[in-house]
Amino acid sequence: MTPISPEARANVHLIDHPLVQHKLSLMRNKEASTNSFRRLLNELSSLMAYEVTRDMALQDVEIQTPLETMKAKMIDGKKLVFVSILRAGNGILDGVLSVVPGARVGHIGLYRDPKTLQAVEYYFKMPKNMEERDIVVVDPMLATGNSAAAAVARLKECKPKSIKFLCLLTCPEGINTLYKEHPDVQIFTAAIDRELNSHGYILPGLGDAGDRIFGTQ
Ligand code: URA
């Protein structure tokens, strides 16, 4: 078993709320149907969105209550961008957008070149003015960490204000890799599983997240 370095572990926010843990266990069960897997992912993503947005800046906005005028605290959801790593990241979008409906959405698609093993970008579409925005990259599984690290490196070219990484599950290998390449990126996850297998799957994990979300297994 690969140990997680203490510095890397300090970057991980484990979301251990009982509702999150319960729903994750239901998702891990191989008997869960595509329908319930997707519904649970949606619910979990909303719950996790609360944690990942906990430090969002608030501004005072003058509003009129039925009784008087006051300065009320409001967030500017439009400054936040959820970036989905295709394709499984799309399964997280509905849930997080139900909590922050004003957020923008970007998509990044990467595949691994079988010869060079390098991540190759096949799709990249972001909102304008990325230098004004905070990014939350979403992908259900932080496994080897290679595509996450490549996606973050590409996003840094847009010079956003900050980047966080939100996943359902990760493992020591994924945490160490992302930390090594991007020590400034905080990871939010519902579980740190034991290890990666030789095919790059997380154990005990939940299988192929994309296949389970889209019913393509
Ligand atoms: N991607 C998945 O969908 N599942 C894993 O276990 C690892 C990577």
Give, using CA atoms, the residue closest to atom 4 of ligand 1.
208
Rounded (10°) CA dihedral 189, 191, 194, 195: -30
Active site (catalytic) residues:
112, 116, 208, 211
Strand-pairing partners, residue 120, are 111
CA distances in angstroms from 29 to 8, 36, 139, 206, listed in the order given: 29, 11, 19, 7
Residue 215 C-alpha to ligand 1 middle, in angstroms?
A: 15
Residue type, 217: Q
**Amino acid at residue number 147:** S
Tens of pLDDT, residues 151-183: 999 999 999 999 999 999 999 999 999 999 999
Structure-block tokens of residue 94: 């509905």
Distance 204 CA to ligand 1 centre (A): 11
Q: How far is the CA of 35 from the centre of ligand 1 (A)?
A: 19
Q: Using one digit for the tens of pLDDT, what is the confidence trace for 89-138? A: 999 999 999 999 999 999 999 998 777 767 899 999 999 999 999 999 99
Q: Distance between CA atoms of 172 and 193, rounded to whole angstroms?
A: 8
Pocket of ligand 1 (CB under 6 A): 88, 141, 143, 200-202, 205, 208-210
Place of tokens 């034991």: 194
Residue bearing tokens 């992302």: 178
CA of 20 to the centre of ligand 1 (A): 19
Residues 174, 177: Cα–Cα separation, whole Å: 5
Residue 78 confidence class, pLDDT cut points 50, 70, 90: confident
Residue nearest (by alpha carbon) to ligand 1 atom 7: 201
Nearest CA to ligand 1 atom 5: 201
Q: Which parts of the chain fold into alpha helices (H)? A: 6-9, 18-28, 34-52, 90-99, 146-156, 172-181, 209-214
pTM of the model: 0.95
Closest-CA residue to 106 (of 90, 118, 121): 90
